[in-house]
Copies of this chain bind each other. A is one copy, B any other.
Amino acid sequence: MIFRQLFEPDSSTYTYLLACERTGECVLIDPVIDTVERDLGVLQALGLTLTYTLETHIHADHLTGARKLRAYTGSKIAVPAMDQLACADIGVEEGVPFRVGDIELAPLFTPGHTGTHHAYLLNKGMQPVLFTGDALLIEACGRTDFQSGDPAALYQSIHNKFFKLVDETLVYPAHDYEGRQITTIGQEKNRNPRLGQGKSLAEFVQIMNEMKLPYPRKIDFAVPGNQACGQCPENVPEQYRGPCDITALPIELQRIVGDQG
């Protein structure tokens, strides 16, 4: 299996590449529209075929690269089924394994950051590997004040779905704003200032409700854009429109796109 952790600096988003070495198929979890060309370059360098893009949730801080990648490569767009997005090709749900070649991810319904958020668990290898999306971050968690966010639901998701896993479980979050790349379930149980050291539901809800966070700068176009799987809506401000252009694929990447370009 091939694995890459890719970073988009404007929204501090991690995109994860998981590839089956036997078949050459791969999935990108939470690709960002701004870094689609970079992602295509990685696929090209590794000789991989993009089978799926897979979202953890409808993002408010960036536009997904799903539709742009589909346009270029013919990949299928996978999203949580309960999002009921007409633009998606496949809906994923807890209890139904999501397969890419020999890779099997278990979707986990983990509401709280958004009402339909899912995480993905890879339970093969020396320790379980959990892609937590925005539910659990390194010494933090996703905000709960937009998109049907609910701190009590997030607490339950983290405790009932994540903290039941072994301490050695690797946690790969969808974001980090300080250059950290990884944590573990044990480390978060111990060190997460909002959840660790056995913090109660009431303590967590109070911490989340007392946060004074700024209004998300991209939410007004990112949410409708992501409900269309990354189609740029009319209201994208000029400074963010560049990545919306899907006709401008660099010539050195056109080789992997072929007839679908």
A: residues with CB less than 8 A from B are 1-5, 18, 122, 125-127, 129, 167-168, 170, 178-184, 186-187, 190-191
What residue of chain B has the Cβ atom nearest to residue A176's Cβ? B187
B167 A5 Cβ-Cβ under 8 A: yes
A182 B179 Cβ-Cβ under 8 A: no
Identify A183's interface contact among B5, B168, B182, B190, CB under 8 A.
B182
A127: chain B residues within 8 A (beta carbon) = 3
Q: Chain A binding site: helix, strand, loop or mixed by DSSP?
A: mixed
Report the bound CA distance from A54 to B126 in whole Å. 19
B1 A126 Cβ-Cβ under 8 A: yes
A125 B1 Cβ-Cβ under 8 A: yes
Say yes or no: A187-B191 contact (C-beta < 8 A), given A125-B126, A126-B3, A167-B5: no
- 18 intermolecular pairs with C-beta atoms under 8 Å apart: A1-B125, A1-B126, A3-B126, A3-B127, A3-B168, A5-B167, A5-B168, A5-B186, A125-B126, A126-B129, A167-B181, A170-B182, A178-B191, A179-B191, A180-B191, A181-B184, A182-B183, A182-B187
Report the bound CA distance from A188 to B85 in whole Å. 40
Identify A168's interface contact among B4, B167, B179, CB under 8 A.
B4
A178: chain B residues within 8 A (beta carbon) = 191
A187: chain B residues within 8 A (beta carbon) = 179-182
How near does chain B come to A112, taking the closest CB pair, in angstroms? Answer: 24
Identify A182's interface contact among B2, B4, B184, B190, CB under 8 A.
B184
How near does chain B come to A122, taking the closest CB pair, in angstroms? Answer: 8
A3: chain B residues within 8 A (beta carbon) = 126-127, 168
A4: chain B residues within 8 A (beta carbon) = 168
A5: chain B residues within 8 A (beta carbon) = 167-168, 184, 186
Report the bound CA distance from A187 to B182 in whole Å. 8
Which of the listed residues A1, A126, A187, A191 has the most CB atoms from chain B within 10 Å of its own CB?
Answer: A126
What residue of chain B has the Cβ atom nearest to residue A179's Cβ? B190
Report the bound CA distance from A186 to B129 in whole Å. 18
How near does chain B come to A101, taking the closest CB pair, in angstroms? Answer: 13
A168: chain B residues within 8 A (beta carbon) = 3-5, 181
How near does chain B come to A169, taking the closest CB pair, in angstroms? Answer: 10
How near does chain B come to A167, taking the closest CB pair, in angstroms? Answer: 7
A184: chain B residues within 8 A (beta carbon) = 5, 181-182
Report the bound CA distance from A122 to B127 in whole Å. 13
Report the bound CA distance from A3 to B178 in whole Å. 28
